[in-house]
Amino acid sequence: MTDFTAGMGAGAYIQLSMQEVGTSQAGNYSLVNWQFYLVQTSGFGSWNADSTGWSTNIGGQGFGGGYTYDFRGGNQVKLIASGQVAIGHDGNGYGSVYGSGHTNYTGSSIGGPADVGGSMGLSRIPKPPSAPGISISSVVGRTVSITVTAPADNGGAGITKYTVQYSRNGGPWTGDQFGGSTVYTGLAPGSYVFRTFATNVAGDGASAQTAPVTVVAGGKRAVDETTFTDLSIMRRYDGSKWVDMQITKRYVDAGTGFVNLGPS
């Protein structure tokens, strides 16, 4: 509950109270109850009035009327009026409400007209999260490691899962993994793009994806055999010419260097 007060003089003040009592995620609004009070703090006896004018404005919605009060007999709190309003939130789920109240009463004992008002923040209504971060940590053979980081904005609610997927050669998204950072093994040769998105109670959020990465058959890239330094060649002279006895091919594995594959 949030209360705002304004004095009317030595013996009384007015009070506007507001409380958020519910939200609608589908409607993107909050329900706010309000009460408008006249409070006597000192003096009593003949403090009474007929049809004193009052008005309130809660989140742009106006109310008003006349109020008859009677403080004879002691210090009291008088409820002038109350109600409930729906307050819309912005597209990111944030909202606030400004309320004001006014009374027209004029009297030497209780004081003169008074105005009260103030703003109250509302609970954020959850929205789908923004896109997480995603990057390729490593490519080793046919194994690709993916790193996922939390989104900048969780949408106002806890993340319930991360989904990681890939598209091979421009095909449909598949290979769903749900634990955030993950490792894909045994991938078929092709060009891959990986993406991720986060989910909360409001649904799936925006996605982010990597640049394409190529996975080669067997995780090996054959070396150009026309380059002498890429081959190991054994020969013998048969008395008239040189004869190749064995050619050992070499390949590059994950970009780390040459490895002997064996005789051709």
DSSP string, 125-172: PP----PPEEEEEEEETTEEEEEEE--S--TTS---EEEEEEEETT--
* Domain match, 37 and 105 both: yes
197 contacts 128 by C-beta, under 8 angstroms: no
212: which 2 tokens? 């394409």
Name the more confident of 153 and 77.
153
* Residue 149 belongs to a domain: yes
> What is the band of 252 on the pLDDT scale with cuts at 50, 70, 90?
very low
What is the model's pLDDT at position 189?
A: 94
Residue 1 exposed, middle or buried by CB count within 10 Å (0-12, 13-18, 19+): exposed
- CA–CA separation, 25 and 177 (whole Å): 28
pLDDT in tens, 59-85: 999 999 988 777 766 667 889 999 999
- Is 90 exceeded by the pLDDT of residue 18? yes
pLDDT in tens, 21-55: 999 999 999 999 999 998 887 765 556 666 678 99
Q: What burial letters (b/e) apply to 102-118, b meaning 16+ CB within 10 Å?
A: bbbbeeebbbeebebee
| Among 74-83, 96-105, 150-159, 192-201, the least confident range | 74-83
- Is 50 exceeded by the pLDDT of residue 194? yes
Phi/psi at 124 (nearest 5 deg)? -70, 135
* Domain match, 199 and 238 both: no
Question: 255: domain range?
Answer: 221-263
* Domain match, 6 and 102 both: yes
* Domain match, 202 and 233 both: no
47: domain CATH number is: 2.60.40.1470
* Domain match, 100 and 115 both: yes
* Residue 139 belongs to a domain: yes
- Lookup result for tokens 């923004």: 130
Domain tally for the chain? 3
Show which of 215, 234, 252 is a domain's final residue: 215
The per-residue pLDDT of the chain, averaged, comes to: 83
- Lookup result for tokens 């009460």: 35
What is the model's pLDDT at position 231?
A: 46
Which runs of E-coded beta strand occur in the chain?
Answer: 2-7, 12-24, 29-40, 48-58, 61-70, 77-88, 96-103, 114-121, 133-140, 143-149, 161-168, 174-177, 182-184, 190-200, 203-209, 213-215, 220-222, 231-237, 242-253, 258-263
178: domain CATH number is: 2.60.40.10
Q: How far is CA 44 from the centre of its chain?
A: 54
Show which of 65, 96, 121 is a domain's final residue: 121
- The candidate with the shortest Cα–Cα distance to 129, out of 180, 25, 204, is 204
- Is 50 exceeded by the pLDDT of residue 198? yes
* Residue 128 belongs to a domain: no
Show which of 95, 121, 147 is a domain's final residue: 121
> What is the band of 258 on the pLDDT scale with cuts at 50, 70, 90?
very low
